[in-house]
Amino acid sequence: MGFLEVAVEVVEAAGEIAVKYFGQNLDRDFKQDKSFATQADLEAEQAMRKIIELKYPNHDILGEELGDKPGESEFQWILDPIDGTRNYSFGVPRYTCAAALLHQGDLVFSAILDPSTQELFTAEVGRGAKLNGQELKIGDTPPLSTAIIAFGRGRADRSEFHKLFARIEPEIGSPRIMGSSLLMMTEVARGRFGGMITTIDNIWDMAAGVLLVRAVGGMALNFNGEQWTTTDKEVVLGSKEIAQELVAFIKSP
């Protein structure tokens, strides 16, 4: 079993737990940043880690709920057991389970599962992306003036996000905020959304989706217009044309 197959096994394990608890009245464990976790988040990440630790005991694992487990290899797993916990906990079926694998800091594999639709997105650097086993390409995107552009908002400085949104919103077709950054990235990858801007600064909210968008032929840039890396705190996604147009708006006075 290769790395991609393990990534799929990991997100499917998380998805099973998410589906089991979906719609139940779950307690919410609030964090310092006002986000929260549920029993489903914790159990899902535990299940993901169990699979990885069994197959690759020396790999580093970084997850949203359980933090970093340092390893002794050049590989690091990035886990988001439920991306969109707020949606999930209120019974809104807009969430994903995701895993990405880094080698020496570079994204090499990722898997994103939408448990509500059983849509599975997989990506491998240099070998493209698939949706439920079928090749996925970003395709033609409409001009920015008619495109749907998704937005993801971080919690650190919302005022800057609101200023950015107010400046860009009149220039696009329609904005979308769905409460799950990775779910929105899958919509960019499949060509439904023209692009995305997010100031969410947690790597588990971005890594798997960044590789997916790149694997279908799209771009992932930071706000300076450079290729996004795992040390960046924001990302612009889309086709080459739309990503560069969005960066130009961000950089303009």
Q: Whole-prediction pTM value?
A: 0.94
Residue 47, both tokens: 């299940």
On whether both 13 and 48 belong to a single domain, the answer is: yes
Higher pLDDT, residue 118 or 35: 118
**What value does the mean pLDDT of the chain take?**
92
Q: Which residue has the tokens 């209120």?
A: 90
* pLDDT, position 157: 65
Residue 29, both tokens: 């464990």
Residue 28 — pLDDT band, cuts 50, 70, 90?
Answer: low
Residue 201 has pLDDT above 90, yes or no: no
* pLDDT, position 36: 61
User: Whole-angstrom Cα distance, residue 189 to residue 112?
Assistant: 12
Higher pLDDT, residue 156 or 45: 45
Residue 210 has pLDDT above 60, yes or no: yes
Domain enclosing residue 46, as ranges = 3-136
- Contact between 42 and 60 under an 8 Å Cβ cutoff? The reply is no
On whether both 76 and 151 belong to a single domain, the answer is: no
On whether both 123 and 45 belong to a single domain, the answer is: yes
Number of domains in the chain: 2
On whether both 129 and 174 belong to a single domain, the answer is: no
- Contact between 213 and 243 under an 8 Å Cβ cutoff? The reply is no
On whether both 86 and 156 belong to a single domain, the answer is: no
* pLDDT, position 13: 98
Q: Which residues contact 101 (CB under 8 A, 6 or more apart)?
A: 3, 7, 75, 76, 77, 78, 107, 108, 109, 110
On whether both 176 and 220 belong to a single domain, the answer is: yes
User: Whole-angstrom Cα distance, residue 33 to residue 42?
Assistant: 17
* pLDDT, position 35: 62
- Taking residues 212-232, report their average pLDDT: 96
**CATH number for 94:** 3.30.540.10
In the listed set 120, 136, 152, which residue is the last one of a domain according to the structure?
136
- 77-91 pLDDT per residue, tens: 999 999 999 999 999
Could you give phi then psi for residue 72, rounded to 5 degrees? -115, 15
- Taking residues 101-117, report their average pLDDT: 98
On whether both 123 and 162 belong to a single domain, the answer is: no
Query: Which amino acid belongs to residue 111?
Result: A
On whether both 95 and 165 belong to a single domain, the answer is: no
On whether both 55 and 175 belong to a single domain, the answer is: no
Higher pLDDT, residue 26 or 222: 222
User: Whole-angstrom Cα distance, residue 57 to residue 77?
Assistant: 12
Residue 212 has pLDDT above 70, yes or no: yes
In the listed set 136, 157, 185, which residue is the last one of a domain according to the structure?
136
On whether both 121 and 217 belong to a single domain, the answer is: no
- 121-179 pLDDT per residue, tens: 999 999 999 999 999 998 788 899 999 999 998 765 677 788 888 889 999 999 999 99
Residue 34 has pLDDT above 80, yes or no: no
User: Whole-angstrom Cα distance, residue 221 to residue 228?
Assistant: 5
Residue 31 has pLDDT above 80, yes or no: no
In the listed set 102, 136, 170, which residue is the last one of a domain according to the structure?
136
The H or E element spanning position 168 is helix 158-168
User: Whole-angstrom Cα distance, residue 236 to residue 223?
Assistant: 7
b (16+ CB within 10 A) / e for 58-70 = ebbbbbbbbeeee
**CATH number for 233:** 3.40.190.80
The H or E element spanning position 198 is strand 195-198
Nearest to 64 by CA among 47, 86, 43, 41: 41
Tell me how far apart the terminal alpha carbons of the chain are, to the nearest angstrom: 51
On whether both 126 and 214 belong to a single domain, the answer is: no
On whether both 126 and 171 belong to a single domain, the answer is: no
